[in-house]
Amino acid sequence: MSDHLHSHYGRNQEERVGEATRVTIVGAVVNLFLVAGKFAAGIAGSSQALVADAVHSLSDLATDVFLLFTVKIAGKEADEDHPYGHGRAETMGSMVMGGSLLLVGVFILYEVIVKMTGGDKLSIPTWPAFLGAAVSIAVKEALFHYTYRVGKKINNQSIIANAWEHRSDSLSGIAALIGITGAMMGVPMMDPVAAIVVVFMIEKAGWEIFREALKDLMDTSLPKEQMREIINVISGTRGVARFHELRTRRMGADIFVDVHIIVQSNISISEAHNTAETVRSNLRKKAGVTDALVHIDAEDDVYYRVMDVDRDEMEKKVRDATIGIEGVGDPSEMIIHLLNGKVLVDFNVALDDSLTIAQARGRVNWLKQKLVADGTIDLVVIRSRLTDGAAERDFYSGGANKKGD
C-alpha cells in the first residue's frame, strides 16, 4: 500500500470511527433514559407490554456499549497480523447484537406466557403506561433516522444494524401502545397479546441482523446490484479482453475483490501490469472497493495445463543452434510465449552487414528449422536489431531495480 493511499485510508478510518463513536454514545445515553422511563411507566401504569418494551431498550443499551468496543477495534489500520484490516470486528458486533435480540425476545415471551397462564387476574394499564409508550415511539423513531443516516454515510454495517434495532424498538412501542389502549378500553388481554407481538418484532429484527453478519463471516459474495457495478467497471477498462474467476467479499465496511483478467497475449508484462493496476484503480474509484487483487492471464486458464519449460535450457538450445551458421551472431533478448499448450520462442540475432536480405532470410530459416526439429519448440520468431540496444537495456534494468512503493 502506497504512503499516499495509506494516509488517505487512515484519515477515512479516523473519520469513520469518530462519527460511529458519536452516534453510538448518543444512542446509549438516550437508551439509558428510555430504559429508566419505560420501566417506571410500565410498573406504575401496570403494563406488561411496556415492561417488555423496556427490556428491549435495555438490550439496545447493552449492544450500544458493545458496539463502542467493536467500533474502536474495527477502526484500527491493517497491520502485519491483520493484512486485511480489522473490519471483521464490525461483523462480530452485528452478530452479537442480532443474537442478543433473539435471546431477549425469548426471555420476554417466557415472562408473558407465565403471567398469562398463571391464573392471576390481568391488570389494566393506566395513563403513565400510555404516555411512556407514546414518548418512546417518538424518541426511538428520531434516533433511528439519525443513526441510519450516519451508518449509510460512513458505510458501517454495525451502525446500520444498530439503527434497525432503534426502529424495532419504535415498532414494538407502537404494538405496546395499541395493547395498552385496548386494555384501557376494556380488553385486558390486549396488553399481553401486544407484548407477544413485540416479541415477534424483536425476533425478526434479531434474525435479520444475525443472518447478514453470518453471511459476511462466511465470505458471501456481494449483492447482485453491487456485483453488476463491479462487472461493468472491469469490462469497461481499456485493455481487458475478458475476465473470469471474479470473487468478492465484505469485511465490515471494506469490500475486497479478486479477479483474473485476460489481456492481449503478445503485449509486454509492463503493459499487462498497467492494465491490471487500471482495473484496480477503477474499482476503488467507481465501485467503492477497498482493494482488489487482479491476476493477469494471456488465455483462459480455468483448465490451464502447467508446461515444464526450463528457460536456461531453452537459451542454451538457441545459442547452440546458431553455432556454425555463417553471418549469424549470438542470440539475445529471448522471450518465451506459452499459449494453448504450445511454445513460441522470440529472440534477436546479430547479422553480418555483408549479408544480402535474401542471404539473411535463408540463414534465419535454416536456424528456425534446426530449433523446431525435435518438437520442443512449436514456433520461432527471429528478429534483427537495427538500433543500439544500450538504451533499451538501461530502460529494462531501471524498471527491474526500481523500488516499489
Position 6 confidence tier, pLDDT thresholds 50, 70, 90: very low
- The domains of the chain, with CATH numbers, are 3-217 (1.20.1510.10), 224-297 (3.30.70.1350), 311-401 (3.30.70.1350)
Q: What number of other Cβ atoms are within 10 A of residue 341's Cβ? A: 10
pLDDT tens digits for 124-173? 788 888 888 899 899 989 999 999 999 888 877 778 878 887 887 787 77
Three-state DSSP string of 35-81: HHHHHHHHHHCCCHHHHHHHHHHHHHHHHHHHHHHHHHHHCCCCCCC
pLDDT tens digits for 159-184? 887 888 788 778 777 877 888 888 88
Q: Which three cell numbers stand for residue 376?
A: 520442443
pLDDT at 371: 94
Q: Which helix (H) or strand (E) holds 293?
A: strand 291-297
Outline where 218-310 has alpha helix (H).
224-235, 269-287
- The length of the chain is 405
Q: Is the pLDDT of residue 105 over 70?
A: yes
Q: Using only C-alpha atoms, what is the Rg of the chain?
A: 34
Q: Is the pLDDT of residue 12 over 70?
A: no
Angstrom distances, CA of residue 206 to CA of 96, 142, 143, 162, 337: 9, 20, 18, 10, 56
Q: Is the pLDDT of residue 401 over 60?
A: no
